[in-house]
Structure 1
Amino acid sequence: MESWMLIAFDSTQQALRTEMLLEFLDIEIDICPTPKEITAGCALSIQFPTDDLNTVKKTIQDEQVEIRGIYFKSENGYDNIEM
């Protein structure tokens, strides 16, 4: 089974912008509600395959997207990874 990571946002505008950027790069994404374990200002999050992490991080940095964080689901909930 493929593992997924999650991007949480503080604004819906940034979530929708990121969705457009990642779709343009043909990255498989899934829009989902932000898990209650993650405190964010936006109810939308984007899931993407872990294999695409480097491309996603580079896109977020290059395009100066404002995010709450990138998270990996672990046994203890969601762990924020370093940008």
Structure 2
Amino acid sequence: MTSEFGLMTFKNTHQAIKTHELLEHYPDYNADIIATPGQISAGCGMSVRFKYGQKAALKKLLAAKEYDYQHIYHGQRSIGVQSSYQVDD
């Protein structure tokens, strides 16, 4: 069984926290702030994980609010296997 998720990276910690605080008001995104996985090179060590199916709506919301992010990754995790990530801006 494989699970999908989105992962948003940021240039700095302030952007990550600000975005997570915004998304706490939108429970459909199921957003969590996490440590940026070691396989990903990012400007800061924090990322926001969210429901991958909500990517288009999330990008629209962040654009409307003029929030910045660095990249969006499509993450997949299989039971017993390390997660994999692909840039999916």
Give the TM-score normalised by structure 2.
0.78
- How far 1:73 moved relative to its partner? 2.2
Q: Unpaired runs of 5+ in structure 2?
A: 78-83
- Extract structure 1 runs of 4+ deviating beyond 2 A: none
Measure, in 2, the Cα distance between the counterparts of 1:69 and 1:55. 15
| Structure 1: gaps of 5 or more residues | none
State the Cα distance separating 1:37 from its structure 2 match.
Answer: 1.8
Equivalent residue pairs, number: 82
Corresponding residue number in structure 1 for 2:87: 80
RMSD: 2.1
1:12 matched to 2:19: no
Query: Given the two structures, how large is their TM-score scaled by the length of structure 1?
Result: 0.83
1:81, distance to aligned residue in structure 2 (A): 1.2
For 1:62, give the aligned amino acid: A
Q: What SS class does the counterpart of residue 61 from structure 1 fall into?
A: helix
* Residue identity in the other structure for 1:67: Y
Identity %: 30
Code of the aligned partner of 1:60: L
